[in-house]
Amino acid sequence: MIQWDIQHPEDLGIYLHIPFCEQKCIYCDFYSVVSFDLWDAFFDALEQEIQLWAERLATAGTIRVRTMFWGGGTPSLLPPHHVERIYRSLAIHFDLTHLEEWTVECNPESVEREKLRAYRLLGINRISIGVQSLQPRELQFLGRIHSAATAEQAVEQTLAAGFVNVNADLIFGLPNQTVEAWEQTLDQVLRWQLPHLSIYALTYERGTPLYTLWQRAQVERIPEEVEAEMYRRTMEKLAAAGYDHYEVSNFAQPGYRCRHNLRYWERKEYLAFGPSAHGFLGSHRYANVRSLRQYCQQLAAGQLPFATVEHLGPLEELEELLYLGLRAQGVRLRELQARTSVDVTAVATAFCHHYAEYCTIDGDRLRLTDAGYAVADSLVVELLTALTDPAAAPLPTVSS
Amino acid sequence: MAGAQAVPVQRKRNFSIIAHIDHGKSTLADRLLELTRTITPREMQYDQILDNNPLEQERGITIKLHPITMFYQYRDGQLYKLNLIDTPGHVDFTYEVSRSLAACEGALLVVDATQGVEAQTISNLYMAIEAGLEVIPVINKIDLPSAPMMIPKVKQEIVDLLGCDEEEILLISAKEGTGVEQVLDAIVERIPAPQGDPQKPLRALIFDSYFDSYRGVVTYVRVFDGQVQAGDQIRFLATGKTYEVEEVGILQLDRIPQPSLEVGDVGYIIAGVKEIRDTKVGDTITTATGEQAEPIEGFREIKPMVFAGFYPADSEEFEHLREALEKLSLNDASLRFEPETSTALGFGFRCGFLGLLHMEIIQERLEREYEINLVTTVPNVQYRVITTGGEEVWVSNPAQMPPPGSIERIEEPFIKAQIITPAEYIGAIMKLCTDRRGEYKSMLYLSPERVELVFELPLAEIVYDFYDRLKSVTRGYASFDYEPIGYRKGDLVKLDILINGDPVDALSTIVHRSKAYEWGRRLCGKLRQIIPRQLFEVVIQAAIGSKIIARETIKPLRKNVTAKCYGGDVTRKRKLLERQKEGKKRMKQIGKVEVPQEAFLAVLSIDDNNKKG
């Protein structure tokens, strides 16, 4: 059995996956089912999973949870008493008294004022609304069951219920979408003056209906130039509106960065519950099975429902530091240096010199510019190669 | 054992089989071996015993000769010793064919009943006739349904070609065994016995050799005069080297040692020869002591015709590649290689081949048998450059071409191409050859429907895809053969490719001035498709000297970033990153630009649009 080495019991995050949806969206590759047969079994299993983890971590002493994120699926399908039940079972085993941020993802059609009030009374303090688009044709294409009006109403109701920390998810780069159409949606959303926006380029994920449509040439992807232009204008507009671009797809008003998500990019620990959920403790990453039935069965048998558990060595850690760090607030050179014998400062300096348009060194951090965010994946490959295999990526040397 | 029987020279017969690929040479050979009980059906592990290289079997061609001795009891009750000397079946190996024919007194001309005579066959047939061989015409595959209709026509073609009587043509089906015995009888009856003087000093022709890791080089010979046995001191005339004979014998399925090889015999000699290069095909072996024989006519140093750079995709594989080439050349005297360096590709070898097929075979063997991932440059011919100082420079790598200012003239190798085609394709072939700078020489109607065309062409123009194009424009009906006819002056220029201003030596080519613009434009276009977008703009240019003649631009990558990266994406994303890093390793670095390996063969696929699938 793996010895779970929790590094910071005083600073843990919890991700909880609610695997139910009323309808699947064509682009979504998160795990969920549209049948509610295992609804009750799921909550029993979830309680069991929470308890098993608490037993595993018993030697670590008090475990203080700072952030929680309930995603899905559609967590807003949960009636308040189900939220309360899960919360209680967590509170029995973990210290939730210092919970700073508790996000629940909501779909516009499942948001009602009463439910939101109840959520707030339970301690939820951040709502993330899956708006995605405000163009009827686009919403229909994406397989969303809400309308633009419903989305706008959902935002109003969330604010009316007393939530301040509210996020809207948006998607750009849909087939046939023009830069102008995207800007219209964006302008409309900006009028809501939400403290946080998550804005994603449409991704064609293997296994989704969207991917199949594209493979069969029934859907045409927009040209790279157009997508790049949409992204560039998004960054421009949001900067002008006072948002801080703190991760590739995330924008926040000062003080409203999502603390739970920051955890992922800063490699802080989190437990994960629910089918397909991924957790990170110490030097291990684990993933739960991507099947609700199997999840329930394994827990009923008293086992944690792992699909994979992976141990990270220095190279894996270095890789993670690079691509997670560069996506967000930059990568700390000192942390890289702890995992390689290569002179990180020299490589980073040469790299920034070489790709001046895309990255800068900011104190101890190597970070990307807006232009750099747009090509972050390519840059990461370059930097990783420069750090681990200098012969394959010769950079002009800069005298140090 | 059959091999031990002494047979007087009057009952020896030495012959080859001349046939086009797929016309049934190997099947016929197998039947002959079976009928003479040289091998038992049990030993017939492969269908075709003579093609002993898997690659050869796959391609349906023979590239190596494997002589074999059979003993046949003719109806006169006497035992005859028949030596079959197999010949390779491809234009790259014309010289080897000529030396094999020189070892024979006769040849079977095997023609497919449904296909008729092909260029390859004709060219080898002419060689046989010139060498004074008795030709026995054989029409094979008479069992095929369409054969009865075609046979009269094929007969007429053969009669026209050979000036023989129709009755002399044997009709057989090697597959079913029909008529094969008559072939054996015809060999005995029509092919003359070897002539030679046993009293004269040894005079033997080398027509092949191979390297045996236990015994060293095993030389295949035909004895013309004198005799040879273990203990003899022998001399190879072309190299001047002398050896002591360790063993002689004949070849059946295995080597069978004999007390001696006598006049008219075909067999092997093992004499402590260490390197295959010392046994030159066509060389004469004589005695090292006392009176020596005159060299047998027709010897030629084999010169590679086609050159290409072979580079290991992974630079750490360089030594492994060297070892593999050394091993292959143990058994292939015509393979040449010497180390070279390319700024684009690193350390590799410039290799010389008899032709494109030979190159492809070596390439495939390196990849299959030695598991080397190769980057190959575009093949080219060897140029003769006369400098303004009157010096002669041989250039087998375009990157090594002297600067234009110091060149007085460039000469390129020419070939005589012989094409046999149904008459309806004459126009298409004329156009193809003219496009390839060919000069029409002659046309001969073999029959009302079939024509032999002769052109003179620069070798460079047929090196890449000429044969494919020829097949394409004639729907596969034309056949083709060529022979070198020396060097001629040409208006040639070196075309360089620059990527972001850096010349890529491995992409330099030498082209005719009239084609340089078109070539440069297409090559740049092709490279634009192959080189992926990078983080910066990539400019591809074609240049003659300092003059840019074509240009293409690859716009920089504008967007490449994963939109979502949360808890569940971390591991997946890292695996992707590791794969991307591996992919990057396989790219070649030109300045800052990453170029995929296939770019170095881009020129070869330039005619894609015209080619059939």
Report whether pLDDT(A123) > 80.
yes
Nearest in space to A106 (alpha carbons), one of A78, A75, A132, A80:
A75
Cα separation values, A176 from A26, A138, A189, B210, Å:
16, 10, 21, 66
A346 shares a domain with A253: no
* Cβ–Cβ under 8 Å, residues B278 and B216: no
B570 neighbourhood in chain A, CB within 8 Å: 264, 278, 280, 285, 320, 324
| Total Cβ atoms within 10 A of residue B106 | 20
- Residue A283: inside a domain, yes or no? no
CA gap A95, A97 in Å, rounded: 6
Contact A384 B581 (CB under 8 A): yes
Q: Which residue segment(s) compose the domain that A337 sits in?
A: 314-392
Scanning A305-344 for CB atoms below 8 A from B yields 308, 310, 316, 319-320, 323-324, 327
Share of chain B above pLDDT 90, in %: 57
Spatial separation of the C-alpha atoms in residues B51 and B61, rounded to whole Å: 8
pLDDT for residue A398 is more than 60: no
> Which residue from B450, B464, B455, B465 is spatially nearest to B118, judged by alpha carbons?
B450
- What are the pLDDT digits (tens) for A19-58? 999 999 999 999 999 999 999 999 999 999 999 999 999 9
pLDDT given for residue A399 in this prediction: 39
The answer to the question of residue A294 being in a domain is: no
B86 in Cβ contact with B19 (< 8 Å) = no
Q: Which are the contacts of A240, defined by CB distance < 8 A and separation ≥ 6?
A: none
Of B559, B581, B584, the CB nearest to A374: B559
Using CA coordinates, name the residue in chain B closest to A323: B574
Same domain, A160 and A245: yes
Interface test with B, best of A70, A278, A352, A373 (most B CBs within 10 A): A278
The A residues from 259 to 288 touching B (CB cutoff 8 Å) are 261, 264-265, 270, 272, 276-280, 285, 287
Is B582 at the interface with chain A, CB within 8 A? no
Number of Cβ atoms within 10 Å of the Cβ of B456: 17
Considering chain B, tell me which residue range(s) the CATH 3.40.50.300 domain(s) occupy. Answer: 2-190
Report yes or no: B9 and B80 within 8 Å, Cβ to Cβ: no
| A192 and A114, same domain (yes or no) | yes
Cis peptide preceding A73, ω within 30 of 0: yes
Q: Does A226 touch chain B (CB under 8 A)?
A: no
Helix axes A148-160, A113-122, angle to 10 degrees: 40
Residues of chain A in contact with residue B564, where contact means CB-CB under 8 angstroms, are: 200, 203, 249
Chain segment B533-552, per-residue pLDDT in tens: 999 999 999 999 899 999 99
Shared domain for A253 and A319, answered yes or no, is no
Decide if A291 contacts B549 (C-beta within 8 A): no
Residues A234 and A340 in one domain: no
* Residues B585, A389: C-beta atoms closer than 8 Å: yes
In this structure, the number of other CB atoms found within 10 A of the CB of residue A175 comes to 15
Cβ-based contacts of B581 with chain A (< 8 Å): 381, 384-385, 388-389
Instruction: Choose between B339 and B44: higher pLDDT.
Output: B339
pLDDT of residue B95: 81
Say if the Cβ atoms of B568 and A276 lie within 8 Å: yes
3-state secondary structure A180-213: HHHHHHHHHHHCCCCCEEEEEECCCCCCCHHHHH
Domain membership of residue A307 (yes or no) is no
A331-382 pLDDT, tens per residue? Answer: 999 999 999 999 999 999 999 999 999 999 999 999 999 999 999 999 999 9
Q: Burial, A216: exposed, middle or buried (Cβ in 10 Å; 0-12, 13-18, 19+)? A: exposed
Report the distance separating Cα A231 and Cα A213, nearest Å: 24
Question: Taking CA atoms, what residue in B is nearest to A262?
Answer: B566
Examine the fold and report which residue of A198, A231, A265 is the final residue of a domain before the chain moves on: A265
- The strand order across the sheet containing B106-112 reads B68-73, B79-85, B12-19, B106-112, B134-140, B170-171
| Among A285, A377, A395, the residue to mutate for chain B (most B Cβ within 10 A) | A377
Q: How many residues in chain B? A: 613
- Are B568 and A385 in contact (CB < 8 Å)? no
Chain A nearest C-alpha distance from B366 (Å)? 25
CB-CB contact of B558 with A374 (8 Å): yes
pTM of the model: 0.72
Per-chain mean pLDDT for chain A: 94
With a cut of 90, say whether residue B360 has pLDDT above it. Answer: no
Residue among B133, B15, B17, B3 nearest B79 (CA): B3
pLDDT value of residue B202? 96
- Asked if B560's CB is within 8 angstroms of A374's CB, the reply is yes
Q: Where are the beta strands (DSSP E) in B75-186?
A: 79-85, 106-112, 134-140, 170-171
CB contact under 8 A, B577 and A285: no
Categorize the per-residue pLDDT at B63 as very low, low, confident or very high, splitting at 50, 70 and 90.
very low
Which residue from B568, B579, B563 is spatially nearest to A285, judged by alpha carbons? Answer: B568
Q: Examine residue A303 and state whether it is found in any structural domain, yes or no.
A: no
Q: Does A358 touch chain B (CB under 8 A)?
A: yes
**Does residue A279 belong to any structural domain of this protein?**
no
Pick B584's closest partner by Cβ from A30, A265, A385: A385
Going through A100-162 in order, the beta strands assigned E by DSSP cover: 101-106, 126-132
Residues A29 and A92 in one domain: yes
Domain count, chain A: 2
Residues of chain B with Cβ-Cβ distance to A324 below 8 Å are: 565, 570
List of residues 6+ apart from B326 with CB closer than 8 A: none
DSSP label at residue B553? E
- Mean pLDDT is lowest, of B259-263, B363-367, B424-428, B603-607, for B603-607
Percentage of the residues of chain A whose pLDDT score is greater than 90:
90
Q: Where are the alpha helices (DSSP H) in B401-482?
A: 426-435, 459-463, 466-473
Nearest residue in chain B measured CA to CA from A284 = B571
Q: Exposure of B334 by Cβ count < 10 A (0-12 exposed, 13-18 middle, 19+ buried)?
A: buried
Domain boundary among A205, A238, A265: A265
DSSP secondary-structure letter at B77? S
Q: Are A376 and B580 an interchain contact pair (Cβ–Cβ within 8 Å)?
A: no
| Better-scored residue on pLDDT, A319 or B98 | A319
- Whether the CB of B316 is below 8 Å from some CB of chain A: the reply is no
Instruction: Decide if A248 touches B, using CB distance below 8 A.
Output: yes
Provide the residue type at A33 as one letter: V
Contacts of residues A248-251 at CB distance under 8 Å and 24 or more positions apart, as own/partner, are A248/A327, A248/A328, A248/A373, A248/A376, A248/B561, A248/B562, A248/B563, A248/B565, A249/A198, A249/A199, A249/A200, A249/A201, A249/B563, A249/B564, A250/A196, A250/A197, A250/A198, A250/A199, A251/A196, A251/A197, A251/A198, A251/A199
Query: Selecting from 3.40.50.300, 1.10.645.10, 2.40.30.10, 3.40.50.2300, what CATH number does the domain B203-287 have?
Result: 2.40.30.10
Kindly state whether residues A238 and A127 are assigned to the same domain: yes
In chain B, CATH 3.30.70.240 sits at 386-490
Nearest residue of B to residue A228, measured between CA atoms: B559
Q: Strand ranges (DSSP E) for A312-358?
A: 331-332
Q: Which residue of chain B has the CA closest to A385? A: B581
Task: Measure the CA–CA gap between B179 and B142, rounded to whole angstroms.
Answer: 10
- Secondary structure of chain B: what % helix, strand, coil (to 5)? 30, 35, 35
Residue A270 forms part of a structural domain: no
Helix axes B119-130, B94-102, angle to 10 degrees: 40
pLDDT, mean of residues B346-358: 89
How far does the CA of residue B70 sit from the closest CA of chain A (Å)?
60
Domain-located, residue A152: yes
Return the CATH class of domain B306-376.
alpha beta
Beta carbons within 8 Å of B105's beta carbon, 6+ residues apart: B13, B14, B15, B133, B134, B191, B192, B193, B194
Q: Are residues A199 and A320 in the same domain?
A: no
Residues of A in contact with B592 (CB under 8 A): 354
CATH number for the domain including A356? 1.10.10
Query: According to CATH, what is the number of the domain B386-490?
Result: 3.30.70.240
Average pLDDT over residues B461-469: 83
In this structure, the answer to whether residues A50 and A180 fall within a common structural domain is yes
Q: How far apart are CA B206 and CA B99, in angstroms?
A: 8
**Mean pLDDT on A183-208:** 96
Measured in residues, chain A has a length of 400
| Chain B residues lying within 8 Å of A316, measured CB to CB | 574
> For B561, which of A248, A355, A393 is closest by C-beta distance?
A248
Which band of pLDDT confidence, cut at 50, 70 and 90, is reported for residue B89? low
Q: Which residues are CB-contacts of B579 (< 8 A; sequence separation ≥ 6)?
A: none
Residue A269: closest C-alpha in chain B: B567
The total of other beta-carbon atoms located within 10 Å of residue A37's CB is 10
Class level of CATH domain B493-610: alpha beta
pLDDT of residue B610: 40
pLDDT of B275 strictly over 90: no
Distance from CA of A114 to the nearest CA of B (A): 30
Structure confidence by residue, pLDDT tens digits, B285-326 = 999 988 888 999 888 877 788 999 999 988 889 999 999 999
Q: Cβ contacts of residue B83 below 8 Å, gap of 6+? A: B12, B13, B14, B15, B67, B68, B69, B70, B104, B222, B265, B266
The percent of residues above 70 in pLDDT, for chain B, comes to: 92
Fold designation for B2-190:
Rossmann fold (3.40.50)
Query: Does pLDDT of B51 surpass 50?
Result: no
Residue A375 sits in the same domain as residue A240: no
**B chain contacts of residue A68, beta-carbon cutoff 8 Å:** none
Average confidence (pLDDT) over B379-408: 92
The interface residues of chain B toward chain A in range 508-537, judged by CB-CB distance below 8 A, are 534-535
User: According to CATH, where is 2.40.30.10 located in chain B?
Assistant: 203-287
Identity of the residue in A264, A310, A381 whose CB atom sits nearest the CB atom of B566:
A264
Single residue among A247, A265, A283 that ends a domain in this structure = A265
Residue A337 lies in a domain: yes
CATH number of the domain at A65, please.
Answer: 3.20.20.70
pLDDT, one tens digit per residue, over B122-170 is 878 888 888 899 999 999 999 999 999 999 999 998 998 888 999 999 9
